[in-house]
Chains A and B, each alone.
Chain A
Amino acid sequence: MTTAASATAPGATVAETEALHSRYLQAQPMWKIVLGQFAEHRMAVAGLCVIVFFLAVALFAPLISAVTGLDPDRQNVLNRFQPLGSWVDASSYERELRVERFLRAGNREALEAHLHGLNLWEIEAAREDLLYELVIHYPPTELRALLESLAAPDHLAQDLAEFQRVVGGFLSFHLFGTDQLGRDVFIRLVYGTRVSITVGLLVAIIAGLIGLVVGSLSGYYGGRIDAVLMRITDALLALPILVVLIVVSAIDMNKVLGGTPLAFIVDHQYESVIKMVIILCVFSWMQAARLVRGSILSIKEQEFVLAARVLGARDRTIIGAHIVPNVIAPLLVAVTLGIGNAILFEAALSFLGLGIQPPTASWGNMLNNAQEMVQHAPMLAVLPGLLILFTVISFNYMGDGLRDAIDPKGIRR
């Protein structure tokens, strides 16, 4: 263990040493000490950076989608399993859709008539069908070249330029290739980040709160309440959790919630996400509860609590001023570690097809049928798993760093 004396570097001057000592001897608020300790754990800081990055991705997913023009649900069946970094033509359905949008956006009759009058096309079509026929008949690159070679009269130049832009947009870039339905893997991973991290955070926080309530009741009041709550906790802890989760995930929410005021959950667009959060919460509060109970039991017996009671402090004061602050720190660690676990469980259940249901993307359900396609498209199986690994390992390192940082025995000063 490093003491103040040995913290001084061997080559330091007297002034430096004194400055260091006066800094250590100054009273510091708890959070500053914790922050300083945390910053020393290099992997924990790296983990924090990764987490901040993924949180940003999750938060700005719609922005990323708007900027890149990619849509997580847009299918393109003719271009399935494209390799990494490939350029792909939009599906004919998508092309027609965009031409329709282009035609609706303004009065394009003059442009249509002008193009129809040209003796340039390989196809015959009525004036109002011409643009549709063009985008279906010609491959996007060829059509773009044809359009660029046109010299339009001045009053049509703007319309033509807009049409060229629409045709130019038919070609899209897929950084991570496309999946079994021709959807862009990159943007699905981005939206999957959103779902997986949301589930992880919600589950860990709610489970932490449940644990706080159960553990406090149990630890502070003891007696019969303690016995009942702890038997339930022990029984749940003893279960092979994945087996139980599979059984519970398979239940039909309609049979449980149908006719109750909570029935709206069943009809919700994100039914499976809400279901997942609820189920994981029910089975992950036990660790937090035991931790809180343990800390309360040990704090309750300490002299400062007795002193407060002798001074006439009420239960509320003792709990609020003495017990809660001593319980929050370990709870924070448990919650941080819980996020990683929740993400792993969500991924495992979604992988088995019992968790988040498509078309909503999550890292787990992107791997759902990756196994059968491991030969065609190995990257489909590798990428989502790598993201899970990075995220969970970051949360675990961060939890480890926090635990070291708040441990009063480990404080180095």
Chain B
Amino acid sequence: MTAFILRRLLQTVVVIALLSFFCYYLMTLMPGDPVDEMIAANPDITSADAERLRQLHGLDQPAHVRYWNWASMVLSGDLGYSRTYRVPVSEILGRSLFNTFVLAGAALLFSLLIAIPLGVWAALKKNSRADYLINLFAFAGISVPSFWIAIVLILLFSVYLPLFPAGGTSGIAFGMTPWESFTDRVHHLVLPVLSLSFLSIGTYVRYTRAAMIEAMEHDYIRTARAKGLSWNRILIMHGFRNALIPLITITALSFSTLFSGAIITETVFAYEGVGRLVFQSIQSNDFNVAMVAFMISVSMVLLMNLAADLLYGVADPRITYS
């Protein structure tokens, strides 16, 4: 087990290192560079100055040298300096990472709470009208563009019915009691969480339904009924427990979808998270922020995949990693 985890961790680290180079290389292929931005901001810079600035920041060197410099800097603990925000990267990163975790976590929890009962219900009432309706809802969930559902939610719940704010992470925090600032945060979270959950609810419902139908067709369900176990006990201990394995896979894997989807949701709702940070820093040529935020997103996803593999063992005792 330990050997397995270590081997997988090592593989993950290698993949992350390769990806970071790949991403760094892609960033050099984007239009413009930081010096162009400086020239745009300050017309007094002459072309000789620009050349000197490029040399000073090492921008005249080939991509692999620059990558090596960047990587050794990051590994020594210095994440660099954000050109747009004018603060060290580590300062903005912590806050946005926390915000994204709150958003993605809440969306995950909410979608599981809605999707599992719906999926189980659809599986038990297979081919009934309720099943068709739930299926339609699930298909709509996986087919709807996430930014569009966000816009529609804004239209419905902040333009027509002004119940929730159309964007932002929190109101003006000045003079609020801790309880007020908490409810304010929650208030700002409602629409983003709803829009982010829509897609994952669709996915989870479909998987729960399929897994539950399969589990309930097994012979041990009949045996359990013959033994006279209560229906609820059969459902939970024999049916649902066995439907859990595919569900865990898809939940862990969909964490990457949540993280990805958060880019769109955060952008639409102007929510200060990592996704929006990646998008904005790429748009404004803020390499240091973009690289670090990108690496964090990728590492999160890869670690989640690893966690999924480990969780199988918990859900299904037949799986061992020796």
Binding site for B on A (CB under 8 A): 43, 235, 238-244, 246-248, 250-252, 254-256, 340, 344, 347-348, 351-352, 364, 367, 370-371, 374-375, 378, 381-382, 384-385, 388-389, 392-393, 396-397, 400
Contacts and interface: CB of A to CB of B under 8 A. Distances in A.
B26 interface: yes
A374 B267 CA distance: 16
A388 B149 CA distance: 11
A371 B191 CA distance: 15
Given A374-B151, A392-B143, A397-B139, 11 more contacts: A43-B136, A241-B256, A340-B143, A347-B147, A374-B154, A374-B159, A381-B148, A388-B148, A389-B144, A393-B140, A396-B142
Nearest to A391: B143
Contacts of A247: 23, 26-27, 282, 290, 294
B264 interface: yes
B232 to A, nearest CB: 27
Contacts of A392: 143-145
B143 A242 contact: no
Q: Give the 9 A-B CB pairs with smallest separation, nearest first.
A: A385-B148, A242-B260, A393-B143, A392-B143, A252-B31, A251-B29, A240-B260, A240-B256, A351-B147
Contacts of B275: 243
Contacts of B30: 250-252
Contact of A242 (B18, B151, B155, B263): B263
Given A242-B264, A247-B294, A389 B19 contact: no
24 contacts: A238-B302, A240-B298, A241-B256, A243-B263, A243-B275, A246-B282, A247-B26, A250-B30, A252-B29, A252-B31, A256-B29, A340-B143, A351-B147, A351-B264, A364-B145, A371-B154, A374-B159, A381-B148, A381-B152, A382-B155, A385-B152, A389-B148, A392-B145, A393-B139
B268 interface: yes
The prevalent SS among residues of B at the interface is helix
Interface in B1-60: 15, 18-19, 23, 26-27, 29-31
Contacts of B264: 242, 348, 351-352
Contact of B145 (A238, A250, A351, A396): A351
Given A242-B261, A243-B294, A374-B155, A251 B145 contact: no
A347 B278 CA distance: 19
B110 interface: no
Contacts of A388: 144-145, 148
B143 A389 contact: yes
B263 A238 contact: no
Given A242-B261, A378-B159, A251 B298 contact: no
A374 B263 CA distance: 20
Interface in B97-151: 136, 139-140, 142-149, 151
B142 A238 contact: no
A239 B22 CA distance: 12
A248 B147 CA distance: 20
Contact of A381 (B136, B151, B278): B151
B305 A238 contact: yes
B267 A385 contact: no
B143 A367 contact: no
B223 interface: no
Contacts of B146: 348
Interface in B198-229: none
A384 to B, nearest CB: 8
A396 B264 CA distance: 22
B222 to A, nearest CB: 16
Contact of A389 (B140, B155, B159): B140
A43 B29 CA distance: 45
B82 interface: no
Given A247-B27, A252-B29, A252-B30, A347 B145 contact: yes
A344 B301 CA distance: 21
Chain B CB within 10 Å — which of A242, A244, A254 has the most?
Answer: A242
Given A247-B26, A251-B29, A348-B264, A238 B256 contact: yes
B283 interface: yes
A370 B268 CA distance: 11
B71 to A, nearest CB: 17
Contacts of B29: 251-252, 255-256
A43 B149 CA distance: 23
Contacts of A241: 256, 260
B259 interface: yes
B282 A396 contact: no
A367 B151 contact: yes
A321 B217 CA distance: 36
Contacts of B142: 396
B279 interface: yes
A239 B301 contact: yes
A240 B145 contact: no
Given A248-B26, A375-B159, A393-B139, A382 B19 contact: no
A198 B30 CA distance: 26
A43 B30 CA distance: 44
Contacts of A351: 145, 147, 264
Contacts of B96: none
Contacts of A400: 139
B181 interface: no
Contacts of B170: none
A344 B136 CA distance: 18
Given A352-B267, A388-B145, A246 B278 contact: yes
Contact of A243 (B136, B143, B297): B297
A369 to B, nearest CB: 11
A382 B264 CA distance: 17
Chain B CB within 10 Å — which of A251, A347, A400 has the most?
Answer: A251
A242 B259 CA distance: 9
Contact of B15 (A238, A244, A397): A238
B75 to A, nearest CB: 21
Chain B CB within 10 Å — which of A243, A251, A347, A371 has the most?
Answer: A243
A9 to B, nearest CB: 17
Chain A CB within 10 Å — which of B148, B256, B305 has the most?
Answer: B148
A382 B148 CA distance: 8
Contacts of A240: 256, 259-260, 297-298, 300-301
